């Protein structure tokens, strides 16, 4: 059974303290931003439900298709998929022999894999359970980045 985007977002808000939802660019982002100290906060994950100008590889304009994107540490990406690919040109996808339209499978992010991001299209409940350690890692990584930004800006 496929998870619904709302179920995933609700789980994040309930399980990841200090997170908020931000809707922008055709996606809903879960940001770490306790007390809304920063203007947006730091990305934990996003749920994208439609193609964008620079991101069409997953064909999200298919009925009922959405993609969960998250940013664990680059070393985790390397452990899962091997070397981080080069940044693609604007409107392009990362190099590699991947079917970015495949559902219910952990994949490199078609655009942001160069930053270590991963994704799953339409995760089943079982796949979502297996994603939770990666989501929690992305959350902890976001907390670290948040603390650095707060310290740097003196907010």
The answer to whether position 114 is within a domain reads yes
| Local confidence band at 154 (pLDDT 50, 70, 90 cut-offs) | confident
Q: Is 138 domain-assigned?
A: yes
Residue 45 lies inside a defined structural domain of this protein = yes
pLDDT at res. 109: 98
In the predicted model, is pLDDT for residue 155 greater than 80? no
Ramachandran assignment for 59, one of left (phi > 0), alpha (psi -120 to 50 degrees), beta (any other) = left
Q: Looking at the domain assignment, is residue 63 inside a domain?
A: yes
Q: Could you give the number of structural domains in the chain? A: 1
| Domain assignment of residue 39, yes or no | yes
Q: 3-state DSSP helix/strand/coil percent for the chain, to nearest 5?
A: 35, 20, 45
Residue 155 in any domain: the answer is no
* DSSP run (H or E) holding 45: strand 42-48
The arithmetic mean of pLDDT across residues 79-105, rounded, is 95
Write out pLDDT tens, residues 6-54. 999 999 999 999 999 999 877 999 999 999 999 999 999 999 999 998 9
The domain in which residue 53 lies consists of: 5-150
In a domain, 42, yes or no: yes
What percent of the chain shows pLDDT beyond 70?
100
pLDDT of residue 25: 79
Residue 59: inside a domain, yes or no? yes
The pLDDT, as a whole number, for residue 63 is 96
**pLDDT tens sequence across 95-104:** 989 999 999 9
């Amino acid at each position: 059974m496929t998870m619904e985007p709302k179920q995933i977002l609700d789980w994040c808000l309930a399980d990841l303290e200090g997170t908020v939802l931000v809707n922008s660019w055709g996606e809903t982002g879960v940001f770490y931003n306790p007390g809304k100290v920063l203007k947006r906060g730091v990305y934990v994950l996003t749920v994208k439900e439609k193609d964008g100008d620079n991101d069409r590889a997953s064909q999200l304009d298919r009925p009922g298709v959405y993609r969960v994107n998250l940013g664990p540490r680059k070393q985790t990406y390397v452990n899962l998929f091997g070397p981080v690919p080069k940044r693609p040109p604007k409107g392009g996808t990362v190099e590699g022999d991947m079917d970015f339209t495949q559902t219910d499978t952990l994949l490199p992010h078609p655009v942001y894999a160069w930053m270590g991001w991963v994704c799953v299209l339409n995760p089943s409940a079982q796949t979502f359970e297996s994603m939770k350690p990666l989501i929690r890692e992305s959350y902890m990584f976001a907390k670290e980045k948040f603390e650095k930004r707060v310290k740097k800006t003196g907010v």
